[in-house]
Amino acid sequence: MDQFDELIQLLDCEGTRVENSQYTSTLDEATLLGFYRDMVLVRQLDMQATALQRQGELSLWAPSLGQEAAQIGSGRALKAQDYAFATYREHGIAWCRGVDPVQMLRFWRGTVHQSWDANQHRLYGYQIIIGAHALHATGYAMGAQYAGRVGTGNADQDQAVVAYFGDGAMSEGDINEAFIFATAYQAPVVFFCQNNQWAISEPTKRQSRVPLAHRADGFGMPGIRVDGNDVIACHEVTMRALDRARSGQGPTLIEAVTYRMGAHTTSDDPTKYRDNADDELWRARDPIERLRIYLTKKNVLNEEIASDIAREAVSLAERMREGCRQFPDPNPLSMFDHVYAGSDARIEAQRAEVQAILAEEGAN
């Protein structure tokens, strides 16, 4: 099967709306312009963070370049009461959940383990362990069920949970166990797999002989393949899967077929394992460009608005550069905080040791 077979697409690469008998998006043009702005700014924040890593300000960064439509489309489908669990590449989701891009950098700079307050944004922090959080999402969704927050018919009350992960994660036991638990309990969780074609250096075909979405069948949930570079389609399929979850009809697996245009992380060198031809193929499928063309044709986007957004992007990048350098290194003694609920004699003794070293250094 071709990698683009069976894809739900509502906006093609040339920026033309595609008719689909099953899926019709009712998004208005102002909302689409908002998505365009989201994608431009998220691309900017990603490129700025990559640059900051190159300048030695961040220890690492995992670029989301090329995956903006999958992230903004799905992220904007979430309601305030929903909860999301994401990986280290989901900067677009963090953006949709209201996380300030400057704050996102703290984790990558090495000043904290979690950049933001998970419950405030209803988004758990960057998960590094591949697939582990799909179980947390499923458990959280089971919690919503037990709390009576599923299937009540109250659109502002019923909750759903989204787990974001990639094609590589589809091989992890935890992902498969999450599918089993979610279907066994019909938990209100949406599994959103961004198939970006590469798990570091391994192509998706190393993970699976069938399209990833087909796996859903064996678990007993719907599996949907969507054009991951089509923000309208990503929004539509996610919104429907979330509605389905909130109304108590159980989980859905969405495979968003997209492309990791950048490296796995700033420590990776994709020229060692992938072809330029692929890069070109996917550049023609750029998620932002097709929406730009569409909105321009519709006279929703004009030069004035485009330059406003571009200015906003420049100032966001500036704010990130400033903010990143201003994060203080953590106090060494904070290393001993929050291991246990109360104090622990071992840890307090070690804290005192470091305190003594600091005092000695201060005295010298």
Which of 178, 257, 263, 288 forms a contact with another protein (CB under 8 A)? 178
Would you tell me how many other CB atoms lie within 10 Å of the CB of residue 266? 19
Two structure tokens written together for 194: 């961004």
Residue 30 in the binding site for another protein (CB under 8 A): no
Residue 338 in the binding site for another protein (CB under 8 A): yes
133 counts as catalytic: no
Residue 135 in the binding site for another protein (CB under 8 A): yes
Count the residues of the shown chain that bind another protein, applying the rule CB under 8 A: 41
Closer residue to another protein in complex, CB, 51/118: 118
Binding mask 181-210 for another protein (x = CB under 8 A): x--x--------------------------
Environment class of 119 (CB within 10 Å of its CB; exposed 0-12, middle 13-18, buried 19+): exposed
Residue 132 in the binding site for another protein (CB under 8 A): yes
Stretch that binds another protein, among 38-46, 171-179, 220-228, 285-293 (CB under 8 A): 171-179
Whose CA is closest to 288, among 259, 246, 312? 259
Taking the complex as a whole, the smallest distance from the CB of residue 166 to another protein amounts, in Å, to 18
Taking the complex as a whole, the smallest distance from the CB of residue 6 to another protein amounts, in Å, to 29
Q: Among 273, 283, 325, 346, which one carries the catalytic annotation? A: 273
Strand partners, 143: none
Residues 6+ apart with CB under 8 A from 102: 319, 320, 323, 324
Residue 333 in the binding site for another protein (CB under 8 A): no
Report H helices in the chain.
29-54, 68-75, 91-96, 101-109, 118-121, 132-146, 173-185, 215-219, 231-246, 276-283, 287-297, 303-326, 345-363
Strand partners, 127: 87
**Measured torsion, CA atoms of residues 88, 91, 92, 93, in degrees rounded to the nearest 10:** 60
Would you tell me how many other CB atoms lie within 10 Å of the CB of residue 243? 16
273 counts as catalytic: yes
83 counts as catalytic: no
Which residues here bind another protein, judged by CB under 8 A? 112-114, 117-119, 124-125, 129, 132, 134-147, 161, 173-174, 177-178, 180-181, 184, 337-341, 344-347
Q: What is the set of active-site residues?
A: 260, 264, 273
